[in-house]
Amino acid sequence: MVLTRAQAKYDEPSDASLSPGRPGTGKSRNKRMGGNVDGAIQPVSNKKAKTSTKKQQHTSDDKDKDAKSDDEEEEASKPSTASGPEAKTQALIDKYGFLPLSNTDLEDPTSSATQKTILALLLSAMLSSARISHDLAAKTTAEVIKAGYHDLETLKKSTWEERTEVLTKGGYTRYREKTATALGDLAEHISAHYDGDLNNLPKQAQNDPSKIRTALKEIKQLGDVGVDVFFDTAQAAWPFLAPFVDPRSTKTAAEIGIGGDVDKLWGAVGKDAVGMCKLAGALTLIRLEKREEEFKSG
């Protein structure tokens, strides 16, 4: 699931039937007929007292009604405190869900599966799958995109030395030489097999995730972990990959109490590919930054 939360509104019954009637308007007359003056005016006094009591009662009822209405409005405006896996899933997405490549110069990668977007996601997966901190991988991905390597022609024209320099700037020093070579090979592979556009890959694979995985693993320096990262992040742009959460993150999902069943997680996000992408990202983040304890209680 991506998910909206509706707030319930409660309709109060109308109190129109309780509206007070018109007060009496008669005047007492003091007749000198031997009658007791007090006795003559007593009924009028009682009538006024009853009318006053009714007014006070209705005023009190109106105040109670207004107070009740205010309380209900305040209660309705409070955030939902519902518990359970779905509520926890939404809380996780709200706090840590993010779109891939949000720290780069690339525009919203979920807007459309453009040639540049898909290549950028693949570059990110390739860099993130190495044994390197996720911070350095993210920084290097940002530098690679800043250099324009998500444009195939730019990547093809780049030299090995230029690619090495960009990787070094991102802090990717441990694997820079090997990765610089792999980036050059990647450009050639996409040109040779997919006519310069990775969007042709799923067309050749009939949008079958298992066939797509097999094809991606033909790319040098992209193994199962790299493909998992790609599936996590690319399902927003390629919704036929959804639902997907990598095995390490499904384990995290089970540990924090939302369950590791991908189909149930898919239902929790409303079977929305963008929501699933954000959930996969959130699970990855709390796993890498060891924030699981935030969601284990409740």
This prediction has a pTM of 0.71
- Does 1 reside within a domain? no
**Do 145 and 261 belong together in one domain?**
yes
Q: What's the pLDDT at 42?
A: 39
32 lies in some domain: no
- Six-digit token pair at 189? 């592979």
Closest-CA residue to 168 (of 136, 196, 194): 136
Same domain, 56 and 134: no
Say how far residue 109 (Cα) sits from the centre of its chain: 16
According to the model, what pLDDT value does residue 283 have?
97
63/151 same-domain check = no
pLDDT along the chain (298 residues), means of 10: 36 33 38 37 42 48 50 42 75 92 75 89 95 92 96 98 98 95 98 98 98 97 96 96 97 95 96 96 94 84
Say whether both 226 and 123 belong to one domain.
yes
Q: How many CB atoms lie within 10 A of CB 24?
A: 11
Helix or strand or coil: residue 50? helix
Domain count, the chain: 2
CATH number of the domain that residue 168 is part of: 1.10.340.30
* Nearest to 269, CA basis, from 260, 261, 278: 278
Give the domain extent around 236. Answer: 115-296
pLDDT given at position 239: 96
Let me know: does 190 contact 220? Beta carbons within 8 Å: no
Asked whether residue 157 falls in the same domain as residue 274, the answer is: yes
